[in-house]
Chains A and B, each alone.
Chain A
Amino acid sequence: MTPPSGLVQSSTHDGAAGARIREIRRDGGLTQQELAAAVEVSRQTIIAMEKGDYAPSVYLALKVARTLGVTVEELWGASAS
């Protein structure tokens, strides 16, 4: 059974951003564990972001974007339009 993601999550389920994170991460040859280590969070947090269940703080979003070599706008911006 999948545990509930909890109350702290994106107000709008952002699966598109999550899919972009997963795609760019895979293109960059990173595993979820490696990305997690690079941005200093748990693998579960990366999984939650990729599922669109967790909207990270600005600080974490910047870390993720920089680690993946893209901008925050490229990851989370397009789905807002």
Chain B
Amino acid sequence: MTTTAASEGRTTFIDRIARWALDIDGDMYGDERERLHWYEGIATAAAIQWLAVPWAAAVTVWIYGRPAVVPLATVLVVMYVPCMLCQVYVQRRRVDTTPRTWSPKRITMALLTVLPYALFTIGVVHATSRDSATTSGTAVGALVGSALGMAWLAIKTIQRRRREAGALPDAD
């Protein structure tokens, strides 16, 4: 099994990480069927972690307060960077990451993904400032920011639909 090189052909740092992690030419994951099942399992685990870790951080910061802020923020950053690498990786392989439709499942997943980061941010401000006005302001800001993010995604979805509705020449 081989992976296609990124569309522009230049091997990047992310490509090298991916090649190492996927172990394409190695025997870490067995033959192609076993490899696919490993990838299924890993993708499932990652999907759970992407939700569970931010939610755990969002809850924990409210319980433990200021001492937990830096460790939890570190965990979230370490969690978030690979998520961004995932986006870059698939986009470089001509995967359109903009949702084509907003199904109930996608909306639920988007909310479950965004909310813990907003809650964590509010929790951090609450733990560090102890000022209710600041906390309230941050809460409003986080909610507005989340809403703007969702609106931006909705606009991208509309743009994608328009793009796909238009007649495009073959990509050679």
Q: How far is the CA of A46 from the CA of B40 in the complex (A)?
A: 20
User: How many residues from A make CB contacts under 8 Å with B?
Assistant: 14
> Could you tell me which residues of chain B, from 14 to 51, have a CB within 8 Å of some CB in chain A?
30-34, 36-37, 40
Interface of A is mostly: loop
* Interface size, B (range): under 10
Q: What 1/0 mask marks residues of chain A from 39 to 60 whose CB sits below 8 Å from any chain B CB?
A: 0111011001000001011011
Q: How far is the CA of A74 from the CA of B14 in the complex (A)?
A: 41
Which of A8, A42, A56 has the most C-beta atoms of chain B within 10 angstroms of its own C-beta?
A: A8
Residue A40 contacts which of B31, B34, B40 (CB distance < 8 angstroms)?
B31
Report whether B34 and A45 are in contact in the complex, using a CB–CB cutoff of 8 Å. Answer: yes
- Contacts from A to B (Cβ < 8 Å): 6-8, 40-42, 44-45, 48, 54, 56-57, 59-60
- Contacts from B to A (Cβ < 8 Å): 1, 30-34, 36-37, 40
